[in-house]
Protein backbone atom coordinates (compact mmCIF):
# COMPACT_ATOMS: atom_id res chain seq x y z
CA UNK A 1 0.00 0.00 0.00
CA UNK A 2 2.95 2.31 0.72
CA UNK A 3 4.08 2.00 -2.89
CA UNK A 4 0.59 2.93 -4.11
CA UNK A 5 0.50 5.96 -1.85
CA UNK A 6 3.91 7.06 -3.09
CA UNK A 7 2.84 6.56 -6.72
CA UNK A 8 -0.36 8.48 -6.02
CA UNK A 9 1.57 11.39 -4.47
CA UNK A 10 4.10 11.34 -7.30
CA UNK A 11 1.43 11.56 -10.00
CA UNK A 12 -0.34 14.38 -8.17
CA UNK A 13 2.94 16.27 -8.04
CA UNK A 14 3.41 16.13 -11.81
CA UNK A 15 2.21 19.00 -14.03
CA UNK A 16 -1.52 18.73 -14.40
CA UNK A 17 -2.02 17.14 -11.01
CA UNK A 18 -5.37 15.30 -10.88
CA UNK A 19 -5.73 15.28 -14.69
CA UNK A 20 -2.35 13.54 -15.03
CA UNK A 21 -3.35 11.06 -12.33
CA UNK A 22 -6.66 10.32 -14.06
CA UNK A 23 -4.95 9.81 -17.43
CA UNK A 24 -2.32 7.50 -15.93
CA UNK A 25 -4.86 5.35 -14.11
CA UNK A 26 -7.08 5.25 -17.20
CA UNK A 27 -4.26 4.17 -19.54
CA UNK A 28 -2.96 1.45 -17.20
CA UNK A 29 -6.46 0.17 -16.33
CA UNK A 30 -7.64 0.20 -19.95
CA UNK A 31 -4.50 -1.67 -21.08
CA UNK A 32 -4.84 -4.36 -18.40
CA UNK A 33 -8.61 -4.80 -18.78
CA UNK A 34 -8.51 -4.76 -22.58
CA UNK A 35 -5.91 -7.50 -22.83
CA UNK A 36 -7.59 -9.50 -20.08
CA UNK A 37 -10.81 -9.45 -22.14
CA UNK A 38 -8.92 -10.42 -25.30
CA UNK A 39 -7.25 -13.34 -23.54
CA UNK A 40 -10.60 -14.59 -22.20
CA UNK A 41 -12.25 -14.34 -25.62
CA UNK A 42 -9.31 -16.08 -27.31
CA UNK A 43 -9.50 -18.88 -24.72
CA UNK A 44 -13.25 -19.19 -25.26
CA UNK A 45 -12.83 -19.37 -29.05
CA UNK A 46 -10.16 -22.03 -28.67
CA UNK A 47 -12.52 -24.14 -26.58
CA UNK A 48 -15.45 -23.47 -28.94
CA UNK A 49 -13.48 -24.61 -31.97
CA UNK A 50 -13.67 -28.16 -30.62
CA UNK A 51 -17.48 -28.19 -30.62
CA UNK A 52 -19.69 -29.13 -33.59
CA UNK A 53 -22.01 -26.14 -33.36
CA UNK A 54 -21.09 -22.64 -34.56
CA UNK A 55 -23.16 -20.96 -31.84
CA UNK A 56 -20.24 -20.44 -29.46
CA UNK A 57 -18.03 -19.10 -32.28
CA UNK A 58 -20.70 -16.58 -33.28
CA UNK A 59 -21.23 -15.49 -29.67
CA UNK A 60 -17.48 -15.05 -29.16
CA UNK A 61 -17.33 -12.71 -32.16
CA UNK A 62 -20.47 -10.85 -31.11
CA UNK A 63 -19.43 -10.11 -27.50
CA UNK A 64 -15.94 -8.91 -28.47
CA UNK A 65 -16.99 -5.30 -29.15
CA UNK A 66 -19.30 -4.89 -26.09
CA UNK A 67 -16.59 -6.31 -23.81
CA UNK A 68 -14.08 -3.81 -25.21
CA UNK A 69 -16.51 -0.98 -24.43
CA UNK A 70 -17.09 -2.31 -20.91
CA UNK A 71 -13.33 -2.47 -20.25
CA UNK A 72 -12.94 1.17 -21.32
CA UNK A 73 -15.90 2.31 -19.17
CA UNK A 74 -14.51 0.45 -16.13
CA UNK A 75 -11.08 2.01 -16.72
CA UNK A 76 -12.65 5.47 -16.90
CA UNK A 77 -14.56 4.77 -13.67
CA UNK A 78 -11.35 3.74 -11.89
CA UNK A 79 -9.57 6.84 -13.20
CA UNK A 80 -12.36 9.19 -12.12
CA UNK A 81 -12.61 7.50 -8.72
CA UNK A 82 -8.86 7.86 -8.15
CA UNK A 83 -8.53 11.48 -9.25
CA UNK A 84 -11.97 12.90 -8.40
CA UNK A 85 -13.52 10.66 -5.70
CA UNK A 86 -15.97 13.31 -4.47
CA UNK A 87 -16.92 14.79 -7.86
CA UNK A 88 -20.60 15.56 -8.51
CA UNK A 89 -21.97 16.18 -12.01
CA UNK A 90 -25.49 17.61 -12.37
CA UNK A 91 -26.33 16.39 -8.90
CA UNK A 92 -25.08 12.84 -9.51
CA UNK A 93 -21.97 11.26 -8.05
CA UNK A 94 -19.28 9.57 -10.12
CA UNK A 95 -20.53 6.15 -9.04
CA UNK A 96 -24.09 6.90 -10.18
CA UNK A 97 -22.92 8.18 -13.56
CA UNK A 98 -20.79 5.14 -14.28
CA UNK A 99 -23.54 2.85 -12.99
CA UNK A 100 -25.79 4.20 -15.75
CA UNK A 101 -22.99 3.81 -18.30
CA UNK A 102 -22.46 0.19 -17.24
CA UNK A 103 -26.20 -0.43 -17.56
CA UNK A 104 -26.05 0.87 -21.12
CA UNK A 105 -23.07 -1.40 -21.77
CA UNK A 106 -25.12 -4.30 -20.43
CA UNK A 107 -27.87 -3.44 -22.95
CA UNK A 108 -25.29 -3.53 -25.75
CA UNK A 109 -24.01 -6.90 -24.50
CA UNK A 110 -27.52 -8.39 -24.30
CA UNK A 111 -28.25 -7.11 -27.81
CA UNK A 112 -25.08 -8.76 -29.10
CA UNK A 113 -25.94 -12.11 -27.46
CA UNK A 114 -29.54 -12.12 -28.76
CA UNK A 115 -28.39 -11.08 -32.22
CA UNK A 116 -25.80 -13.86 -32.17
CA UNK A 117 -28.44 -16.45 -31.24
CA UNK A 118 -30.71 -15.32 -34.08
CA UNK A 119 -27.81 -15.24 -36.53
CA UNK A 120 -26.93 -18.82 -35.55
CA UNK A 121 -30.53 -19.91 -36.12
CA UNK A 122 -30.54 -18.24 -39.53
CA UNK A 123 -27.32 -20.00 -40.55
CA UNK A 124 -27.78 -23.49 -39.08
CA UNK A 125 -31.48 -24.12 -38.45
CA UNK A 126 -33.42 -22.10 -41.03
CA UNK A 127 -31.72 -23.63 -44.13
CA UNK A 128 -32.74 -27.12 -42.93
CA UNK A 129 -36.47 -26.28 -42.88
CA UNK A 130 -38.64 -26.92 -45.95
CA UNK A 131 -40.10 -23.41 -45.95
CA UNK A 132 -38.28 -20.25 -46.95
CA UNK A 133 -40.51 -18.23 -44.68
CA UNK A 134 -38.05 -18.12 -41.78
CA UNK A 135 -35.22 -17.24 -44.19
CA UNK A 136 -37.13 -14.13 -45.22
CA UNK A 137 -38.75 -13.20 -41.93
CA UNK A 138 -35.78 -13.65 -39.59
CA UNK A 139 -33.99 -10.45 -40.68
CA UNK A 140 -37.17 -8.59 -39.71
CA UNK A 141 -37.35 -10.43 -36.38
CA UNK A 142 -33.71 -9.54 -35.69
CA UNK A 143 -34.38 -5.84 -36.25
CA UNK A 144 -37.52 -5.89 -34.09
CA UNK A 145 -35.68 -7.71 -31.28
CA UNK A 146 -32.85 -5.17 -31.30
CA UNK A 147 -35.27 -2.24 -31.17
CA UNK A 148 -37.16 -3.79 -28.25
CA UNK A 149 -33.94 -4.47 -26.32
CA UNK A 150 -32.78 -0.86 -26.64
CA UNK A 151 -36.23 0.57 -25.83
CA UNK A 152 -36.51 -1.55 -22.67
CA UNK A 153 -32.93 -0.73 -21.70
CA UNK A 154 -33.56 2.99 -22.16
CA UNK A 155 -36.69 2.82 -19.99
CA UNK A 156 -34.77 1.04 -17.21
CA UNK A 157 -31.94 3.59 -17.37
CA UNK A 158 -34.39 6.52 -17.25
CA UNK A 159 -36.10 4.91 -14.26
CA UNK A 160 -32.70 4.59 -12.57
CA UNK A 161 -32.11 8.31 -13.17
CA UNK A 162 -35.39 9.15 -11.45
CA UNK A 163 -37.40 9.92 -14.57
CA UNK A 164 -41.10 8.98 -14.40
CA UNK A 165 -41.50 6.37 -17.15
CA UNK A 166 -45.23 5.61 -16.72
CA UNK A 167 -46.26 8.42 -19.14
CA UNK A 168 -43.64 7.21 -21.61
CA UNK A 169 -44.99 3.64 -21.48
CA UNK A 170 -48.52 4.94 -21.98
CA UNK A 171 -47.37 7.01 -24.93
CA UNK A 172 -45.62 4.03 -26.45
CA UNK A 173 -48.79 1.98 -26.01
CA UNK A 174 -50.90 4.61 -27.80
CA UNK A 175 -48.32 4.92 -30.57
CA UNK A 176 -48.19 1.12 -30.92
CA UNK A 177 -52.00 0.97 -31.18
CA UNK A 178 -51.98 3.65 -33.88
CA UNK A 179 -49.31 1.80 -35.84
CA UNK A 180 -51.21 -1.50 -35.47
CA UNK A 181 -54.40 0.09 -36.84
CA UNK A 182 -52.52 1.68 -39.73
CA UNK A 183 -50.83 -1.61 -40.59
CA UNK A 184 -53.85 -3.84 -39.93
CA UNK A 185 -53.81 -5.56 -43.33
CA UNK A 186 -50.03 -5.97 -43.31
CA UNK A 187 -50.05 -7.44 -39.80
CA UNK A 188 -52.95 -9.72 -40.76
CA UNK A 189 -50.93 -11.09 -43.69
CA UNK A 190 -47.86 -11.43 -41.49
CA UNK A 191 -49.57 -13.46 -38.75
CA UNK A 192 -51.43 -15.54 -41.35
CA UNK A 193 -48.03 -16.38 -42.84
CA UNK A 194 -46.77 -17.34 -39.38
CA UNK A 195 -49.82 -19.60 -38.94
CA UNK A 196 -49.29 -21.32 -42.29
CA UNK A 197 -45.63 -21.84 -41.54
CA UNK A 198 -46.46 -23.44 -38.18
CA UNK A 199 -49.50 -25.47 -39.29
CA UNK A 200 -48.02 -26.34 -42.72
CA UNK A 201 -51.23 -26.84 -44.75
CA UNK A 202 -49.05 -26.17 -47.78
CA UNK A 203 -45.35 -26.42 -48.52
CA UNK A 204 -43.14 -25.27 -51.39
CA UNK A 205 -43.56 -27.47 -54.50
CA UNK A 206 -47.08 -28.55 -53.45
CA UNK A 207 -49.73 -28.38 -56.18
CA UNK A 208 -52.84 -26.67 -54.78
CA UNK A 209 -56.19 -25.25 -55.81
CA UNK A 210 -58.05 -22.47 -53.98
CA UNK A 211 -61.76 -23.05 -53.52
CA UNK A 212 -64.06 -20.57 -55.27
CA UNK A 213 -61.30 -19.20 -57.50
CA UNK A 214 -59.44 -20.15 -60.65
CA UNK A 215 -56.11 -20.07 -58.83
CA UNK A 216 -54.38 -23.41 -59.28
CA UNK A 217 -50.68 -24.21 -59.43
CA UNK A 218 -47.46 -25.04 -57.64
CA UNK A 219 -46.52 -23.26 -54.41
CA UNK A 220 -43.21 -21.49 -54.89
CA UNK A 221 -42.84 -19.91 -51.47
CA UNK A 222 -44.80 -18.61 -48.49
CA UNK A 223 -43.56 -15.08 -47.84
CA UNK A 224 -44.22 -12.77 -44.90
CA UNK A 225 -46.98 -10.98 -46.84
CA UNK A 226 -48.15 -13.26 -49.66
CA UNK A 227 -47.90 -16.76 -51.09
CA UNK A 228 -46.37 -17.12 -54.55
CA UNK A 229 -48.03 -19.71 -56.82
CA UNK A 230 -46.79 -20.77 -60.27
CA UNK A 231 -49.67 -21.65 -62.59
CA UNK A 232 -49.57 -24.13 -65.47
CA UNK A 233 -49.51 -21.13 -67.82
CA UNK A 234 -46.10 -20.27 -66.28
CA UNK A 235 -47.38 -17.15 -64.53
CA UNK A 236 -46.95 -16.14 -60.90
CA UNK A 237 -50.04 -15.50 -58.78
CA UNK A 238 -49.48 -13.68 -55.49
CA UNK A 239 -52.21 -14.42 -52.93
CA UNK A 240 -52.25 -12.44 -49.64
CA UNK A 241 -51.65 -14.74 -46.70
CA UNK A 242 -54.82 -13.55 -44.95
CA UNK A 243 -56.90 -14.79 -47.91
CA UNK A 244 -54.96 -18.07 -47.98
CA UNK A 245 -55.74 -18.63 -44.29
CA UNK A 246 -59.47 -18.05 -44.88
CA UNK A 247 -59.79 -20.09 -48.08
CA UNK A 248 -60.43 -23.82 -48.41
CA UNK A 249 -57.26 -25.22 -49.99
CA UNK A 250 -57.08 -28.52 -51.83
CA UNK A 251 -53.53 -29.82 -51.61
CA UNK A 252 -53.04 -32.42 -54.33
CA UNK A 253 -49.63 -33.37 -52.93
CA UNK A 254 -50.85 -34.20 -49.42
CA UNK A 255 -50.60 -36.76 -47.91
CA UNK A 256 -48.73 -37.90 -51.07
CA UNK A 257 -48.40 -36.94 -54.72
CA UNK A 258 -50.05 -40.12 -56.06
CA UNK A 259 -53.78 -39.84 -56.62
CA UNK A 260 -56.72 -41.60 -58.24
CA UNK A 261 -58.13 -40.26 -61.51
CA UNK A 262 -61.50 -41.19 -63.00
CA UNK A 263 -62.38 -40.58 -66.68
CA UNK A 264 -65.75 -40.78 -68.46
CA UNK A 265 -66.38 -42.49 -71.83
CA UNK A 266 -69.49 -43.56 -73.73
CA UNK A 267 -70.36 -46.46 -76.04
CA UNK A 268 -73.37 -47.48 -78.06
CA UNK A 269 -76.30 -49.41 -76.60
CA UNK A 270 -75.67 -52.01 -79.33
CA UNK A 271 -72.26 -52.99 -77.85
CA UNK A 272 -71.90 -55.52 -75.06
CA UNK A 273 -70.72 -53.92 -71.77
CA UNK A 274 -68.16 -56.69 -71.21
CA UNK A 275 -66.64 -55.95 -74.61
CA UNK A 276 -66.47 -52.21 -73.89
CA UNK A 277 -64.94 -52.73 -70.42
CA UNK A 278 -62.29 -54.99 -71.93
CA UNK A 279 -61.44 -52.33 -74.52
CA UNK A 280 -61.19 -49.63 -71.86
CA UNK A 281 -58.86 -51.71 -69.68
CA UNK A 282 -56.69 -52.51 -72.68
CA UNK A 283 -56.54 -48.81 -73.52
CA UNK A 284 -55.42 -47.99 -69.95
CA UNK A 285 -52.76 -50.68 -70.16
CA UNK A 286 -51.39 -49.26 -73.42
CA UNK A 287 -51.33 -45.71 -72.01
CA UNK A 288 -49.42 -47.03 -68.99
CA UNK A 289 -46.76 -48.48 -71.30
CA UNK A 290 -46.50 -45.36 -73.45
CA UNK A 291 -46.46 -42.63 -70.83
CA UNK A 292 -45.32 -44.31 -67.61
CA UNK A 293 -47.61 -41.90 -65.73
CA UNK A 294 -50.13 -44.54 -64.65
CA UNK A 295 -49.12 -46.35 -61.44
CA UNK A 296 -50.82 -49.73 -61.90
CA UNK A 297 -48.48 -51.35 -59.37
CA UNK A 298 -49.94 -49.11 -56.66
CA UNK A 299 -53.60 -49.72 -57.50
CA UNK A 300 -55.15 -51.78 -60.35
CA UNK A 301 -56.84 -50.02 -63.24
CA UNK A 302 -60.59 -50.53 -63.33
CA UNK A 303 -63.45 -49.89 -65.70
CA UNK A 304 -67.20 -50.32 -65.33
CA UNK A 305 -70.55 -49.39 -66.84
CA UNK A 306 -71.80 -46.43 -64.85
CA UNK A 307 -75.21 -45.29 -66.08
CA UNK A 308 -77.63 -45.13 -69.01
CA UNK A 309 -77.34 -41.93 -71.02
CA UNK A 310 -79.80 -40.38 -73.49
CA UNK A 311 -78.13 -41.97 -76.49
CA UNK A 312 -75.30 -44.10 -75.07
CA UNK A 313 -74.12 -46.11 -72.07
CA UNK A 314 -71.79 -44.15 -69.79
CA UNK A 315 -68.59 -45.86 -68.60
CA UNK A 316 -65.97 -44.86 -66.05
CA UNK A 317 -62.27 -45.73 -66.04
CA UNK A 318 -60.15 -45.33 -62.91
CA UNK A 319 -56.35 -45.23 -62.78
CA UNK A 320 -53.63 -44.13 -60.37
CA UNK A 321 -51.46 -41.25 -61.61
CA UNK A 322 -48.10 -40.17 -60.18
CA UNK A 323 -49.04 -36.49 -59.75
CA UNK A 324 -52.06 -34.26 -60.25
CA UNK A 325 -50.71 -32.63 -63.42
CA UNK A 326 -50.14 -36.07 -65.01
CA UNK A 327 -53.92 -36.25 -65.45
CA UNK A 328 -53.76 -34.07 -68.53
CA UNK A 329 -51.27 -36.25 -70.37
CA UNK A 330 -53.10 -39.43 -69.30
CA UNK A 331 -56.50 -38.11 -70.44
CA UNK A 332 -55.17 -37.09 -73.85
CA UNK A 333 -53.52 -40.46 -74.44
CA UNK A 334 -56.59 -42.32 -73.17
CA UNK A 335 -58.86 -40.54 -75.65
CA UNK A 336 -56.57 -41.53 -78.51
CA UNK A 337 -56.13 -45.11 -77.31
CA UNK A 338 -59.83 -45.65 -76.57
CA UNK A 339 -60.65 -44.41 -80.07
CA UNK A 340 -58.27 -47.00 -81.60
CA UNK A 341 -59.44 -49.80 -79.30
CA UNK A 342 -63.10 -49.11 -80.06
CA UNK A 343 -62.41 -48.97 -83.79
CA UNK A 344 -60.41 -52.20 -83.60
CA UNK A 345 -63.26 -54.02 -81.83
CA UNK A 346 -66.06 -52.46 -83.82
CA UNK A 347 -67.43 -50.50 -80.87
CA UNK A 348 -69.22 -47.33 -81.87
CA UNK A 349 -69.40 -44.00 -80.09
CA UNK A 350 -72.86 -42.71 -81.05
CA UNK A 351 -73.80 -39.13 -81.68
CA UNK A 352 -76.27 -37.66 -79.21
CA UNK A 353 -79.74 -38.14 -80.76
CA UNK A 354 -83.03 -36.39 -80.00
CA UNK A 355 -86.30 -37.79 -81.42
CA UNK A 356 -89.03 -35.19 -81.98
CA UNK A 357 -92.64 -36.21 -82.83
CA UNK A 358 -94.70 -33.72 -84.82
CA UNK A 359 -98.49 -34.13 -84.92
CA UNK A 360 -100.11 -33.01 -88.16
CA UNK A 361 -103.58 -31.61 -88.80
CA UNK A 362 -105.05 -35.05 -89.49
CA UNK A 363 -103.52 -36.58 -86.38
CA UNK A 364 -100.67 -38.38 -88.11
CA UNK A 365 -97.29 -38.35 -86.42
CA UNK A 366 -94.04 -37.53 -88.10
CA UNK A 367 -90.78 -38.65 -86.52
CA UNK A 368 -87.71 -36.47 -86.88
CA UNK A 369 -84.36 -37.51 -85.44
CA UNK A 370 -81.84 -34.78 -84.76
CA UNK A 371 -78.23 -35.78 -84.41
CA UNK A 372 -75.99 -33.48 -82.37
CA UNK A 373 -72.37 -33.99 -83.12
CA UNK A 374 -69.43 -32.55 -84.97
CA UNK A 375 -70.48 -29.77 -87.26
CA UNK A 376 -74.03 -29.80 -85.84
Q: What is the DSSP letter of 312?
A: S
Domains 202-251 and 259-353 share a fold: no
User: Does 100 score more than 90 pLDDT?
Assistant: no
What does the pLDDT look like over 20-34, one tens digit per residue?
667 777 788 888 888
C-alpha dihedral (290, 292, 296, 299), degrees to nearest 10: -140
State the pLDDT at residue 236: 92
Q: Are 224 and 133 in contact (CB under 8 A)?
A: yes
Mean pLDDT of 223-238: 87
Q: What is the mean pLDDT of the chain?
A: 78
CA-to-CA distance for 261 and 51, rounded, in angstroms?
52
User: Does 17 score more than 60 pLDDT?
Assistant: no
Strand 313-321 versus strand 302-308 pairing type? antiparallel
User: Does 339 score more than 90 pLDDT?
Assistant: yes
pLDDT band at 282 (very low <50, low <70, confident <90, very high): very high
Higher pLDDT, 296 or 175: 296
- Domain regions of the chain by residue span: 2-182, 202-251, 259-353
Higher pLDDT, 115 or 343: 343
Mean pLDDT of 37-55: 77
Point out which residues pair with 315 in neighbouring strands: 265, 305
Q: What pTM does this model have? A: 0.53
CA-to-CA distance for 48 and 322, rounded, in angstroms?
48
What does the pLDDT look like over 192-203, one tens digit per residue?
777 776 667 888
CATH number, domain 202-251: 2.30.30.60
pLDDT band at 87 (very low <50, low <70, confident <90, very high): low
**3-state secondary structure at position 244:** helix
- Among 13, 70, 12, smallest CA distance to 38 is for 70
Cis peptide before 255 (omega within 30 of 0): yes
What does the pLDDT look like over 303-325, one tens digit per residue?
999 999 888 999 999 999 988 88
State the pLDDT at residue 273: 93
- CATH architecture for the domain at 259-353: 2-Layer Sandwich (3.30)
CA-to-CA distance for 312 and 269, rounded, in angstroms?
6
User: Does 158 score more than 60 pLDDT?
Assistant: yes
Higher pLDDT, 366 or 176: 176
Lowest-pLDDT range of 34-43, 176-185, 276-285, 317-326: 176-185
Amino acid sequence: MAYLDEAYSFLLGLPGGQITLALAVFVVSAFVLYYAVMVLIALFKKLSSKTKTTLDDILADKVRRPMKIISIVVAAFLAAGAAYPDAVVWGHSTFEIFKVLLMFCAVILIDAIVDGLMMWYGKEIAPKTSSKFDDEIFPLFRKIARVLIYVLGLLIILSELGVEIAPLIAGLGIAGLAVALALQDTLGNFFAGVYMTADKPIRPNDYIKLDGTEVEGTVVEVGWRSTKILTLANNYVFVPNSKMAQTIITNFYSPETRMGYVMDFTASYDDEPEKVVEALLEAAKEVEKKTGKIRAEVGPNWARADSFGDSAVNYKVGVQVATYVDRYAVKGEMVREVYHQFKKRGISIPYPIRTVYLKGNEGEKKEIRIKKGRGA
